[in-house]
Amino acid sequence: MNKAAYTHLIKQKASELGFMYCGISKAEFLEEEAPRLERWLNQHMHGQMHYMENHFDKRLDPRLLVDGAKSVVSLLLNYFPEEGQPEDSTYKISKYAYGTDYHFVIKDKLKALLTYINEAIGEVGGRCFVDSAPVLDKAWAKKSGLGWVGKNSNLITPQVGSFYFIAELIIDLELEPDGPIKDYCGSCTRCLDACPTGAITEPYVVDGSKCISYFTIELKDQLPQEMEGKFGNWVFGCDICQDVCPWNRFSKPHREPAFAPHPHLKEMKADDWQELTQEVFSQLFRKSAVKRTGYSGLLRNIRFVEGQPDNA
Ligand code: B12
Ligand code: SF4
Ligand code: SF4
C-alpha cells in the first residue's frame, strides 16, 4: 500500500468513528504561528492560564512531542445540539458543555483510530491529543484544510460552521497532506461587534484574559468588577461570537449520544439555578465539562450575573 491508500483508510475509519471531518498535514514547525503565539503570550492574553506559557517549542513543533513524527491527523467532532436552552432561559451554558465532557468522548475515539491504524497498516507510533498537551489544534486543522480561522479566532468549516471540537493524532507514518482553504470572513465584523467584553481586540486576535469563557471557566479568583453587567446571562463559557457568525447557519445537529444534555437542563428556571444544591449540580453535570468550574465556581458566576458584589 502507498501513502495515498493509507490516507484513504484512515479518513474512512475516522468517519466510521463519528468524526465529521479528517484532514492531514505534514508534521513540521509552525512558522507562521510562532511570532503570533509569542506576541499573544508577551501581551499576557493568556491571563492566569499559566499552562499556556509552558512548552513554547513543543507547541510549535509536533516532532518534539512524538519521536519521528511525520503526519498530523486532524479530526473534527460536531457538538451542535438539536435543541439549545430555551430562549427565555435565565442562565446560559455553552453548547459544548451540555453533555459528557468531550475529553472522554474524543479520547476513546482517538484510541480506537490509533488501534485500527496499527491493525490495518502495521506498526505505527503515535499519540492522541485532545487538549491534553501543548498542541495548537486550530493551526493544524487549518493547515489540514478543514477550515479557516475566523476573525473570532475559531476554526470555521464552510459546510458546517464552527460548533465542533478539534483533536489530533500525531503519528510517525507518512501520509498524503491536504492543503489549506481560503478565508471566507470577507468584510464581515459581526463577531467583533457582538463581543460584550471587547475580547476580540482586532480581527483574528482574541485576548483570552478578557473573554467570558475565561472568566467563567478558567479564572479561579474573584471576577473583576469592571466586567459587571457584561456577561449577559452566560454562566459557563460563551457562544456569542459563534452564534452571530453567519457560517453557523450551516451547523447541523450532532449524532453523538454522549453529548445529549441532562433532560432537566432545559427545564431549569431562575429559582432552580439560584437554589442549586451540590447534589443537583452533581446530577445535572455528572460527567460534563461544567465540573471544571465546579459547584462553587458556577454559583460565583450566577451571583455575578445577578450583580451581587459578593462574588468571591
Ligand atoms: C486557551 C484556550 C482558550 C482560551 C483562549 C482563547 C483563544 N482564542 O486562544 C479561552 C478560555 C478564552 C477559550 C475560549 C473558548 N474556546 Co478554547 N481553547 C483554548 C486552547 C486550550 C488553546 C488555544 C490556544 O492555543 N490559544 C493561543 C492563541 C495564541 O491562539 P489563537 O487565539 O488561536 O491565536 C491565533 C490567532 O490569533 C492567529 N493570529 C494572530 N494574529 C493574526 C493575524 C492574522 C492576520 C491572522 C490571519 C491570524 C492571526 O495566530 C494565533 C496563533 O495560532 C484550545 C485547545 C488547543 N489545544 O488548541 C481550545 C479551543 C481553541 N477552544 C475551543 C472552544 C470551543 C472555545 C470556546 C468556543 C468555548 C466556549 N463556548 O466558551 C471559546 C471561544 C472563544 C474565542 N472566540 O476564541 C475549541 C475551538 C474549536 C474551533 N471550532 O475552533 C478548541 C480548539 C478546543 C478543542 N480541542 O476543540 N479557549
Ligand atoms: S466567547 Fe464571548 S466573550 Fe469570548 S470572544 Fe467570543 S463573544 Fe467575546
Ligand atoms: S462573524 Fe463574520 S467576521 Fe466573525 S468569524 Fe464569522 S464570518 Fe468571520
Residues catalogued as catalytic: 131
Which tens digit of pLDDT belongs to each residue from 154-185? 999 999 999 999 999 999 999 999 999 999 99
Is it the case that residue 227 has pLDDT exceeding 60?
A: yes
**Backbone phi, then psi, for 169, in 5-degree steps?**
-110, 135
* Residues ≥6 apart with Cβ < 8 Å to 25: 71, 72, 74, 140, 143, 144, 177, 178
Residue nearest to atom 4 of ligand 3 (CA): 191
Strand partners, 21: 76
Note whether 188 and 222 are within 8 A (CB): no
State the pLDDT at residue 310: 57
Residue nearest to atom 27 of ligand 1 (CA): 37
Residue-wise DSSP of 66-83? STT--EEEEEEEE---SS
Strand partners, 200: 206
Q: CA-to-CA distance for 145 and 122, rounded, in angstroms?
A: 27
State the pLDDT at residue 213: 98
Note whether 178 and 144 are within 8 A (CB): yes
CA angle 55, 101, 278 (to 5 degrees): 110
Q: Residue written as cell 471576577?
A: 223
State the pLDDT at residue 309: 58
**Which helix (H) or strand (E) segment is 282 a member of?**
helix 278-284
Ligand 3 atom with the shortest distance to the CA of 203: 3
Is it the case that residue 311 has pLDDT exceeding 80?
A: no
Q: CA-to-CA distance for 128 and 61, rounded, in angstroms?
A: 15
Mutate to test the pocket of ligand 3, among 201, 245, 249, 251 (most ligand atoms within 8 A of CB): 245
Which tens digit of pLDDT belongs to each residue from 42-93? 999 999 999 999 999 999 999 999 999 999 999 999 999 998 887 777 899 9
Q: CA-to-CA distance for 161 and 239, rounded, in angstroms?
A: 13
Which tens digit of pLDDT belongs to each residue from 133-142? 999 999 999 9
Which tens digit of pLDDT belongs to each residue from 300-310? 999 999 998 55
Query: How confident is residue 146, by pLDDT bands cut at 50, 70 and 90?
Result: very high
Set of cell numbers at residue 58: 513543543
Ligand 1 atom with the shortest distance to the CA of 39: 29
Name residues contacting ligand 2 (CB within 6 A).
152, 195, 197, 199-200, 206, 211-213, 238, 240-241
Q: CA-to-CA distance for 122 and 177, rounded, in angstroms?
A: 20
Residue nearest to atom 89 of ligand 1 (CA): 166
Residue nearest to atom 6 of ligand 3 (CA): 245
- The alpha carbon of 289 and the centre of ligand 3 are apart by a number of angstroms equal to 26
